[in-house]
Amino acid sequence: MASSKRASDEAAEPLPERERDCLIVGGGPAGLTAAVYLARFRRDALVIDAGEPRAALIPTSRNCPGFPDGIRGPDLLRAMRAHADRFGVAVLDGTVTRLAIDETSRETRFLAAWRPQDGGAERRAAARTVLLATGVVDIEPRLVRLERAIREGYVRHCPICDGYEVIGRRIGVIGFGSGGVEEALFVRTYSADVTLLTLGEPMGLDDDSRRRLEAAGVGIVEEPIVEIEIDEGKISCLQTEQPQPDLGRGGAGCDRGDRDSPVATAQRLLNGLFGDEDGSIGGGGSGIRTHGTV
C-alpha cells in the first residue's frame, strides 16, 4: 500500500467501477480464503493482488489440510484462485497505490486507486468495506545463495509449518537476543541438536537466558556466515569468517580449492552441523530456521 488519505478531492478523478461490498487488498491464501467465504455469503468482493505472495516461496507445505503429501506454494495459490473464480470473484493483478474514505458519500465508502500489473493506466475501485490481506515481508538474513536455499527448502521461515519435517535432525536457528532464545527453545522441541546462529549480532543474554539455553543443550555461534554449501540435496557446510572452536563433534575444514582465502581456511561450522558424526553428509537433510529480527 503506497499511501492512505481522506478523499476530499476525488471528484476530479475518473469514476470507479461499480461499488463492491468488499475490496480485498492481497491475493495470498488469507485474501483468497476471505474472497471465497464472502462470495458464498453472496457478497460482491474484488481482490487486487500485487503478485508478490510470500506463499509462492514455499517449496512444499505439508501443513495445509487436505494435502498430506504436500503442495507447492505456487500450486496452492493457483488452486485457490480457481476456487475463488468458481464463485465469481474477480482477482485482478495490480498494486493499490491509494486508499481513502469518500467524504462525499453519506454512508461509509472507500475509494482505492490501483495500477494494473501490465502497466496500464491507473484505475479506481469503490467498496463499502476493505480487507487488508497484504501479509508480511520477511527481514532476510545476510546469507549468500539465500534465494536458492529458500526456494529449495534448506532455509525455512516457519517452525510451526515446517518443524515436523526436521524432527530429530540438526537444526540451525538464525536469530539473536531474547527473540532468538525463545525461537531456539521452541525448535528444541523438535530436535535435541539445535544451534543458534546470530550472524555476527551480539546475543546480549542475561544469566537466566544463558542458563536456559545451556540446560536445553542449545549451542551459540556469533560469527558471521559467509557461505552456504549445498551438496546432494542437503546443506553440507556453513562457512564463517573466522575458524570456530571445536564444539565436540570433530569437524573438518571446507575445501574450497583456494586455501589462502578466508572461506577456504574457515573450519566447517559446528564441525559438521548438517552432517554425520564423522563430518560426512548424512541422510535426511536438515534446515535453518530464520527469526524475523535478523
Average pLDDT, the chain: 77
Instruction: Please identify, among 105, 132, 159, the residue that sits at the C-terminal boundary of a domain.
Output: 132
Say yes or no: 111 and 173 in one domain: no
138: in domain: no
Say yes or no: 285 and 251 in one domain: yes
Say yes or no: 153 and 123 in one domain: no
Instruction: Please identify, among 132, 156, 171, the residue that sits at the C-terminal boundary of a domain.
Output: 132
Say yes or no: 186 and 231 in one domain: yes
pLDDT digits (tens, 9 = 90+) for 48-60: 999 988 898 888 9
Residue 79 CA to residue 56 CA, distance in Å, equals 12
283: in domain: yes
Number of domains in the chain: 2
156: in domain: yes
Q: Which three cell numbers stand for residue 254?
A: 571446507
137: in domain: no
Say yes or no: 275 and 241 in one domain: yes
Q: For residue 55, give the 3-state DSSP assignment.
A: helix
Q: Are 218 and 183 in contact, with CB atoms under 8 Å apart?
A: no
Say yes or no: 94 and 227 in one domain: no
Query: Which of 4-8, 25-29, 262-266 is least confident?
Result: 262-266
* CATH code of the domain covering residue 265: 3.50.50.60
Say yes or no: 159 and 63 in one domain: no
Q: Are 268 and 237 in contact, with CB atoms under 8 Å apart?
A: yes
103: in domain: yes
pTM of the model: 0.73
> How confident is the model over 143-164, as a mean pLDDT?
82
Say yes or no: 116 and 32 in one domain: yes
* Domain span at 44: 3-132
- Is the confidence at residue 287, as pLDDT, over 70? no
pLDDT band at 26 (very low <50, low <70, confident <90, very high): very high
Instruction: Please identify, among 87, 109, 132, the residue that sits at the C-terminal boundary of a domain.
Output: 132
Say yes or no: 180 and 110 in one domain: no
54: in domain: yes
Predicted local confidence at residue 28, as pLDDT:
96
pLDDT digits (tens, 9 = 90+) for 160-195: 888 888 899 888 888 888 888 999 999 999 999 998
pLDDT digits (tens, 9 = 90+) for 235-265: 777 777 766 554 333 223 354 444 333 332 2
Say yes or no: 151 and 281 in one domain: yes
Instruction: Determine how β-strand 19-25 pairs with β-strand 45-49.
Output: parallel
175: in domain: yes
Residue 108 CA to residue 126 CA, distance in Å, equals 11
139: in domain: no
Say yes or no: 199 and 253 in one domain: yes
Residue 83 CA to residue 91 CA, distance in Å, equals 11
Q: Are 269 and 150 in contact, with CB atoms under 8 Å apart?
A: no
Say yes or no: 258 and 156 in one domain: yes
